[in-house]
Amino acid sequence: MKTVLSILTLTVFLILLTALPNTALQSRRHGPAETLFTEQFFSQTVDHFNFNTMGNATFRQRYLITDKFWKAGHGPVFFYTGNEGDVWDFALNSGFILELAAQQQALVLFAEHRYYGKSLPFGNSSFNIPQVSLLTVEQALADYAVMITELKQQLAATHCPVIVFGGSYGGMLSAYMRLRYPNIVAGALAASAPVLSTAGLGDSRQFFQDVTADFEKIAPECRDAVRGAFSQLKKLAEHKDYSRIQSEFALCKPPSSERDIHQLNGLLRNAFTLMAMLDYPYSTHFMGNMPANPVKVGCGTMLRGPDLLANLRDTAGIVYNSTGVLTCFDLYSLYVECADPTGCGLGFNSQAWDYQACTEIELCYESNNVTDMFPPMAFTEQDREIYCSKRWAVLPRPGWLKTQFWGDALSAASNIIFSNGDLDPWANGGVRKSLSSSLIALNISGGAHHLDLRGSNEVDPESVISARQKEAEIIAQWVEMERSRLQKTL
């Protein structure tokens, strides 16, 4: 929910753009990968499915391109199906695609998802009602299909096989592209793609149970310390000892209601979520500034001494105060509760994801303090309906993604790799077992959220090195199969 920010809060917001969930809002770091890409804009149709409402209206959709490795007119096209954030942040954190492009002489394109980054169909009015209604998975996929088709013609690449890549929601879109447009896309690498859980399949307790399991693997005492700290916070809240809570958690303002305590619990839980997702073996600047092995660092902080509340505060600070410059935490500027219990972030990107979580994307996850270490925080279908009706004047459509994109009935599809790391709390919402010889599940031991899409690193576990090699082999086979098919049609 948009709030009026004080000057102090706005300052905090700007500082913390590098530590927000799901939006990947951090400032870009200039490096070799960035110098490879050229930023361009594509004239995209606003509404692909209704010829009357928008006519032939278009908007400027951003994409990044590099032909440094491309064997022009022959090499494949590697196309990243952009997800819920600035396209640069995914391009600069998906080095495997560039490494593979160098091996296979590919043209590389990263497309920005409509309503994110600079690809706003109605500018700053894009999140008004009804303009926001054109933010759908189907419209985004059509954007990519049109962009691929037209850019291939412009670049004299009409006979070059296309492979799509994506991570997380972007991985879902890559899989969906292969389902919806197999005439355009020869294969898809869907990394950490929760295609089952976001379609309303699975257990609502799974996500935060798996976050807890990551910390429990470091030490059961870590889980117990987190649970104990939240228990102490609950007791203080029950006694309405708000000044003590402010002091213990270095809050900019004392809480004054149950709503404020709920917000604090959400903010704290979200910190653990991000550490689990981004538990890479080296420091990163993706969806926040994280140290190497942040789950281990977090557990070390939780177990450093008997003051559990201080430990909990400083563990959350790994995410929200990675620079160490904040002197206090503003509850409502650092975390915004939304239709995604795993976090939406802040700014326009968060509004876009909130709308999607109110329409097609189903994320009714809950914590219960029994199967997980967090306070009981329910988010049921009814809760979702109430929130989304009030916020966006929409009623969610449960089961729509299952209807549109097959849910768990994927066996008739082909040429998709579903990769998941066992440290990723999203993994069990995806495909973990191969469904056929061309629907391949790769499980990466010691892998966090789409680790395989990241560039090679000297501390990579052997499992991800092996997974990338397997992915490269499979993609090369798909390219040759598609090239042979295209030659036969000429």
Name the catalytic one among 48, 285, 449, 450.
449
Q: How many whole angstroms separate alpha carbon 67 and alpha carbon 369?
A: 51
Hey, which residues does 166 pair with through a beta bridge? 190
Name the catalytic one among 126, 168, 197, 463.
168
Distance between terminal CA atoms of the chain?
A: 55
From the list 61, 59, 115, the residue with the least C-alpha distance to 85 is 115
CB 70 within 8 A of CB 107: yes
Virtual torsion, Cα 285, 288, 291, 292, nearest 10 deg: -70
Burial environment of residue 61 by CB neighbours within 10 A (0 to 12, 13 to 18, 19 or more): buried
Place of tokens 């590389």: 108
CA 396 → CA 194, 202, 384, 406, distances in Å?
A: 18, 18, 8, 18
Task: Establish whether 449 is a catalytic residue.
Answer: yes
Task: Establish whether 168 is a catalytic residue.
Answer: yes
From the list 173, 53, 34, the residue with the least C-alpha distance to 111 is 173
Task: Please confirm whether the linkage preceding 255 is cis (ω < 30° from 0).
Answer: no
Hey, which residues does 110 pair with through a beta bridge? 64, 80
DSSP result, 10-57: HHHHHHGGGG-TTT--PPP---HHHHH-EEEEEEEES-SS-TTTSTT-
Name the catalytic one among 86, 330, 424, 452.
424
CA 13 → CA 231, 264, 344, distances in Å?
A: 29, 17, 14
Backbone angles phi, psi at 82, to 5 degrees: -55, 150
Task: Establish whether 262 is a catalytic residue.
Answer: no
Residues classed as catalytic: 168, 424, 449
